[in-house]
Chain A
Amino acid sequence: MSEERETRIFMISPDSMITPDQLVREVHAMGKEVTAKETCYGTLVEGPRPLVGEVLAIIRERYPYDIYSKVRAYPTGDRRRCRAEHGTRPGYAQLEAEWEMLPLIQHGIRCSENGERPAVPKEKEKLPLEEFKKICEAC
C-alpha cells in the first residue's frame, strides 16, 4: 500500500451520540497535517500514512465502541467517486448494510472485552435413516 497517501473512512455507529460534525472538529483539533471531510456516515481522513495512523489511534482510544474504520482506495473528493461530481459508488451498498449492523458488532466487542465466552455453534447432524423413512412414508 502507498506510504505517501492513506485515506480512511471513519464510520459512526448508528446508535452513537457522536455526530459527523463533532468528529470532524475533533480531527481538526488534533492539529495533525491531515485533511478531514465530513460525510453523512462520519468522516474521511486523508494524509501521510503515519499521521492518519496517529489519528486512528486517538479516535479508537476516545471512542472504542462508537467509531469503526477502514482504508479507502480512492482519495477524498476524487472525481471518479465523489457524489458531487456524479461519480459511481460501487461498494457503498455494502458499507450501508454494514453500518446498520454496527450496533450488533459494538455489543459483541463489549461482551468479548468483558470476558464473555462465545457459545459454540451447533453443528448440523445427519437425519437418522429410520426417521427419514418415516417422513417418506408419511408423505
Chain B
Amino acid sequence: MKVFIDPPNSLILFDLVERFGHEPLGTMAPIQERIDKTEVDMPPMNVSLDDVVKGLKYAGVEVPSGIRGRLALWGPLIEAADAALIMEDPPFNFGCVGCERSNEMAKYLIRRRGIPALTVRYPDDKEEAVMTVGRIKEFLEGLK
C-alpha cells in the first residue's frame, strides 16, 4: 500500500515504511520527476512557477506562494495515498518541513481524505522510541 509520510522528507519514516513492506510516498519522488524532466535550475528552489499555480488546487490564492509550491508537491501524493503516517514535533523545522502552515495544510488534506492515519511523536528517549516504533509497526502491519 502507498503510505504518505509526514514530514515528507523523513529518513526514519521512509525507512520504516519500506522495512515493514509498504511503499512510502515522500517529497523526493516528485522533486526527482521535476529534476529529470523539466530541469529545475533555480537553487534552492525545487519547484517552478507552474507548480505554484498548480498549488491553487489545494490552497486559496491568498495563501503565500511558498505554501502553494509545497502543496503542489505534496497534494498529489496525499491524493494517491492509501494511508498516512504523521510524526509530530520534528526536531528541526528547516528546509521543506520548515513551514508550519504547509504542514498543517498537509494534515488537513489527509484528514479530509479520510484515509487511515497514525500520528506519533518523534521520540525523546528509549521508552518513547519503543512505543513509537511499535505503534508504527502495528499500524503498517494492519494495513491490507
A residues touching B (Cβ–Cβ < 8 Å)?
A: 1-2, 4-5, 9, 11, 60, 68-75, 78, 80-81, 87-88, 90-102, 104-105, 107-109, 111-112, 116-119, 121
Chain B residues closer than 8 Å to A95, beta-carbon distance? 11
8 further contact pairs, Cβ within 8 A, besides A101-B123, A117-B134: A1-B33, A101-B122, A108-B123, A111-B134, A112-B133, A118-B131, A118-B134, A118-B138
A87 touches B43 (CB 8 A): yes
- The majority secondary structure among interface residues of chain A is mixed
- The B85-108 residues at the A interface (CB cut-off 8 A) are 90-92, 94-97
B96 touches A70 (CB 8 A): no
A94 touches B7 (CB 8 A): yes
B44 touches A111 (CB 8 A): no
A73 touches B92 (CB 8 A): no
Closest 5 CB pairs of A and B: A118-B134, A108-B133, A73-B31, A104-B129, A70-B14
A111 to B94, CA, bound (A): 31
A88 to B122, CA, bound (A): 26
A85 to chain B, nearest CB (A): 10
A65 to chain B, nearest CB (A): 11
Q: Which of A4, A72, A100, A111 contacts B133 (CB 8 A)?
A: A111
A97 touches B28 (CB 8 A): no
B95 touches A92 (CB 8 A): yes
Q: Which of B10, B44, B127, B137 contacts A112 (CB 8 A)?
A: B137
Chain A residues closer than 8 Å to B130, beta-carbon distance? 107-108, 111-112, 116, 118-119
